[in-house]
Structure 1
């Protein structure tokens, strides 16, 4: 979806669902990660997550942000906790929450480091430490890095 198509879609949904025009700017913001969209109270502009544009629930996300927009301009309760917001959102069929996106990047497995003191105590840590600066917590002996713990 292009930015111009987004603007037209928002204007169309505003007129159809609310019977009011949308006179401000609607844009995509690729920095949005988990949220579907944002409404700016100072400028009345709307931002949307471009990853959600292909989802079938995108019209519900647009309606959700338009509820914020129209209620704020009418000086009514535009926050999620306000009764006006909840009633209008239910009336127009907007989405209450943004849908979860599939994880795009797999998290790296944790690296674990194994240390041993003079007395033979084994310490496993997620972060490397300076062995000349730190000591064993049990016997206060000097530490020696044994290496990385193999992932299983």
Structure 2
């Protein structure tokens, strides 16, 4: 799906579920990380995370667009458009928009998480860390003994 098709889909969903036209822009924004979409208060545009369409399909994207259209139409009408407002919750129930989008499948990151294991020379206590430490600056937290790196 390209941005032109996204625009047409958003306009069609607006007329079908809200009986009101969508007169602004709907675009994909690949920089969105933690959300499926967002409604921009200042410009009235809707941004959609393209990974939701690529990984979860059209049905999930339609849900995201309906949710953002709830924000859009209520804000334009001067009603409560925030998640906690009664108007917003009622409109979402009426049109069947999801409150939250589904979680994206977790992908294995390119970097593997390293683990550094340090051991006290005196009391043999082991410490596991994600970051390497300067062994001249740090000592054992239990006995103040010298640390050595095992792995």
User: TM-score interval w.r.t. the shorter chain?
Assistant: 0.7 to 0.9
State how 1:96-111 maps to structure 2 within 5 Å. 96-105=99-108, 108-111=112-115
The answer as to whether partners of 2:40 and 2:46 remain within 8 angstroms in 1 is: yes
Choose 1 or 2 for highest CA Rg. 1
TM-score (norm. length: structure 1):
0.86
Number of residue pairs the alignment of both structures matches: 146
The answer as to whether partners of 2:38 and 2:48 remain within 8 angstroms in 1 is: yes
Q: Following superposition, which runs of at least 4 residues in structure 1 exceed 6 angstroms of deviation? A: none
| Of 124, 128, 151, the match for 1:125 | 128
Going by fraction, where is helix more abundant, 1 or 2? 2
Give the C-alpha shift of residue 92 in structure 1. Answer: 1.1
Separation (CA, whole Å) in 1 of partners of 2:143 and 2:92: 63
Secondary structure (helix, strand or coil) at the match of 1:7 reads: helix
Give the C-alpha shift of residue 109 in structure 1. Answer: 4.7
Q: Which structure 1 segments of 5+ residues have no match?
A: none
TM-score (norm. length: structure 2):
0.87
Separation (CA, whole Å) in 2 of partners of 1:42 and 1:124: 50
Separation (CA, whole Å) in 2 of partners of 1:64 and 1:100: 16
Q: Which moved more, 1:8-17 or 1:131-140?
A: 131-140
Separation (CA, whole Å) in 1 of partners of 2:125 and 2:115: 16
Match of 1:15 in 2: 15
Q: Which structure 2 segments of 5+ residues have no match?
A: none
Secondary structure (helix, strand or coil) at the match of 1:59 reads: helix
